[in-house]
Amino acid sequence: MLVLEGVDVFYGRIQALHGLNLHVDDGEIVTLIGCNGAGKSTTLRTISGLLRPRRGGVTFDGKDLAALPPNRIVQLGLSHVPEGRRIFTNLTVRENLDMGAYLVRDPKARRERLDRVFALFPRLEERMDQPGGTLSGGEQQMLAIGRALMSRPRMLLLDEPSLGIAPILVKEIFDEIARINREEGTTILLVEQNANLALHRATRGYVLETGRIVLEDDTKNLLQNPQVKEAYLG
Amino acid sequence: MSGELLFWLNLLVTVGIYTLLAVSLNLINGHAGMFHLGHHGFWALGAYAATWLTLNAASLPGPLLYVLSLLLAMAVAAIGGLTIGIPCLRLRGDYLAIATLGFGEIVRIAVQNSPHDFLGGSLGTKVPRVLMEVTRTTQVPFRFLTLAIVAVACAAAILVFRNFLRSLPGRRLLAVAQDETAAGLLGIDPTRSKVLAFVMGSAVAGLAGGLYAHYMGGINPLNFNFMEMVKMFLVIVLGGMGSLSGCVIGAFLVVATEQLLNRAPEAIASWWQVLFPLILALMIVFRPQGIFGRKEITDMIRAWRRSPA
Ligand SMILES: Nc1ncnc2c1ncn2[C@@H]1O[C@H](COP(=O)(O)OP(=O)(O)OP(=O)(O)O)[C@@H](O)[C@H]1O
Ligand SMILES: [Mg+2]
């Protein structure tokens, strides 16, 4: 479904990704783990069109993404929940969700999507008319995910949904992510520093170190891998 | 007596015209968060478009010509906004400010350097009276009539902008202004949202230009110099970036200060040229959210009613 082949990405003269190969198949939950600065966010930004690879190709269902701006890539059914949530703090919860439904023209379909998001995150419905900026960190993360789901994407890119959130809420959010995958059939690429949690939810994983993939395997095996245990699970 | 009345009528009409300029500038700079410094260019485009039609369609009945010339003023300014908006709005921050400032100055300089038989060139041109005959004795009713028209235009512009900002496309604009990247990741085309705001804002500045040309009965390229942009900017900074009703109060403060100073002896009068940029700088340093911030007057009345006395 999503394929990255030999992708090199630069920030000015600094190379952040080195010949990255990665693929995600329909229906999977794949996780990308790595330390601070490994290039996880850079990988997601490259997929969603915020950054351009200097070499290599990115395709989604065989379509080349390299020349498309972010707002066109979303239209193909690929939705990116960026690092740090970035909800619209001065718009209400409801309006934030409406922004996510920009591509859904039919009002009935919008309503259905909204009901679906409220079913997944009932807290959002309770806080519907509150400005997004007044939500707690965990609720803001739910809003960011809910907002991305409004367009009914076929694939969701999630950048550290656990960042800065109380452990109990993190578990709740990860449960919902698994449920989105199961019930909506949404394919998920999950970037996490919390490797333990991510590896328990995903089917396959990649380990990224300084812009290079160093390991790729089923999460079962990665969880047993002594290298991974020492560096990421210890 | 009549002199005093004329002074205050003139002041209020001018407040109305600056209100139109400020609400439209505020849509672009305050709500859409773009650093646009060429609003005087759209104002000039509107004034010259209205003047051109008035000079060239003299056979039409006066009131019809008045209305048509205002519509043309809006259309020409809107097309101007679209033409410079599409390439410029991809620029950010300071670059956008420089590009739009360039546009504003080019409009004025182009007219200034035109031959005198084209809209007066640097000499300026008279605008034939079409609304009613204006003589010494009919000045008062003419100013009252203009004030009524300008007031209606201000109310209409504020209402349209307010409803726009509450609509889905308006919310989209606020989203783009707050976080363009996040908006883009939701499928929103940021450039499109910004161009829409830019075109709406320039159309209303064009309307202000048309009203101004008919009111003054004559225009000159120097009416639309950069000092006017400074004044508009001061109005929205005083009134609050992102507050529509704040614009009315900001416009009153700026225009009243200028006109009252103008009555003072020459030595004092010209000081507004120093005073305005100074206030602007002080406001930006000490109270960048303006007197009203993003709030509307209606919000404040509601809050004041709710709070125990
Ligand atoms: N805008 C930028 N300009 C220059 N360098 C950048 C920029 N963004 C990221 N980098 C660099 O690129 C590398 C990868 O950064 P990236 O944000 O992808 O890391 P990450 O794996 O997401 O880390 P974290 O877990 O801290 O979010 C880092 O060395 C970082 O310093
Ligand atoms: Mg990151």
Q: Digits of tens for pLDDT over chain A (234 positions)?
A: 999 999 999 999 999 999 999 999 999 999 999 999 999 999 999 999 999 999 999 999 999 998 899 999 999 999 999 999 899 999 999 999 999 998 888 989 999 999 999 999 999 999 999 999 999 999 999 999 999 999 999 999 999 999 888 888 898 899 999 999 999 999 999 999 889 989 999 999 999 999 999 999 999 999 999 999 988 887
What's residue B309's pLDDT?
45
Question: What residues contact B1, with CB distance under 8 A and at least 6 apart?
Answer: none
Q: What distance in Å separates residue A154's CA from the closest CA in chain B?
A: 14
Residues of chain A with C-beta less than 8 angstroms from the C-beta of B182:
82, 86-88
What's residue B1's pLDDT?
56
| A10 phi/psi in degrees, rounded to 5 | -120, 145
DSSP H or E segment with residue B202? helix B190-216
Domain with A38, as residue range(s), is: 2-232
Q: How far is the CA of A158 from the centre of ligand 2 (A)?
A: 10
Residue B298 to residue B309: CA distance in whole angstroms: 18
Tokens of A86: 């970035």
Residues of chain A with C-beta less than 8 angstroms from the C-beta of B183:
99
Judged against a pLDDT cut of 80, whether residue B292 lies above it is answered with no
Residues B36 and B28: beta-carbon distance below 8 Å: yes
Residues of chain A with C-beta less than 8 angstroms from the C-beta of B186:
71, 74, 79, 99-100, 102, 147-148, 151
By most ligand atoms within 8 Å of CB, the mutation choice from A4, A7, A11, A86 for ligand 1 is A11
Judged against a pLDDT cut of 80, whether residue B290 lies above it is answered with no
Residue corresponding to tokens 């000499």: B123
Q: Identify the CATH number of the domain in which residue A228 sits.
A: 3.40.50.300
Residue A156 CA neighbour count, 13 Å, CB half: 29
Give the residue among A221, A204, A225, A232 at the shortest CA–CA distance from A2: A204
Residue B103 to residue B202: CA distance in whole angstroms: 12
Q: Whole-prediction pTM value?
A: 0.88
What's residue A79's pLDDT?
96
DSSP H or E segment with residue B257? helix B244-263
Mean pLDDT of B191-212: 96
Q: How far is the CA of A33 from the centre of ligand 1 (A)?
A: 14
Give the residue among A32, A38, A65 at the shortest CA–CA distance from A49: A65
Return the SS3 of B247.
Answer: helix
DSSP H or E segment with residue B218? strand B218-219
A156: how many CB neighbours lie within 10 A of its CB?
23
Q: Is there an atom of ligand 1 within 6 Å of A45 CB? A: no
Judged against a pLDDT cut of 70, whether residue B193 lies above it is answered with yes
Q: How far is the CA of B90 from the centre of ligand 2 (A)?
A: 26
| B287 phi/psi in degrees, rounded to 5 | -145, 70
Residues of chain B numbered 172-191 and touching chain A (CB < 8 Å): 172, 174-175, 178-179, 181-190
Q: What distance in Å separates residue A64's CA from the closest CA in chain B?
A: 17
SS3 labels along chain A:
CEEEEEEEEEECCEEEEEEEEEEECCCCEEEEEECCCCCHHHHHHHHCCCCCCCEEEEEECCEECCCCCHHHHHHCCEEEECCCCCCCCCCEHHHHHHHHCCCCCCHHHHHHHHHHHHHHCHHHHHCCCCEHHHCCHHHHHHHHHHHHHCCCCCEEEEECCCCCCCHHHHHHHHHHHHHHHHHHCCEEEEEECCHHHHHHHCCEEEEEECCEEEEEEEHHHHHHCHHHHHHHHC
Residue A148 to residue B183: CA distance in whole angstroms: 11
What's residue A156's pLDDT?
97
What's residue A185's pLDDT?
93
How many structural domains are present in chain A?
1
Question: What residues contact B8, with CB distance under 8 A and at least 6 apart?
Answer: none
- Contact check, Cβ <8 Å, A70/B168: no
- Contact check, Cβ <8 Å, A151/B186: yes
Residues B85 and B74: beta-carbon distance below 8 Å: no
CA angle B239, B244, B250 (to 5 degrees): 25
Return the SS3 of B90.
Answer: coil
Q: What distance in Å separates residue B164's CA from the closest CA in chain A?
A: 14
Judged against a pLDDT cut of 70, whether residue B35 lies above it is answered with yes
* CB of B166 less than 8 A from some CB of A: no
Q: Is there an atom of ligand 1 within 6 Å of A151 CB? A: no
**Which residue, among B167, B174, B186, would best test binding to A if mutated, counting the most A CBs under 10 Å from its CB?**
B186
For β-strands A29-34 and A204-209, DSSP reports them as parallel
What's residue B279's pLDDT?
83
Residue corresponding to tokens 């519907």: A128
Residue B251 to residue B16: CA distance in whole angstroms: 8
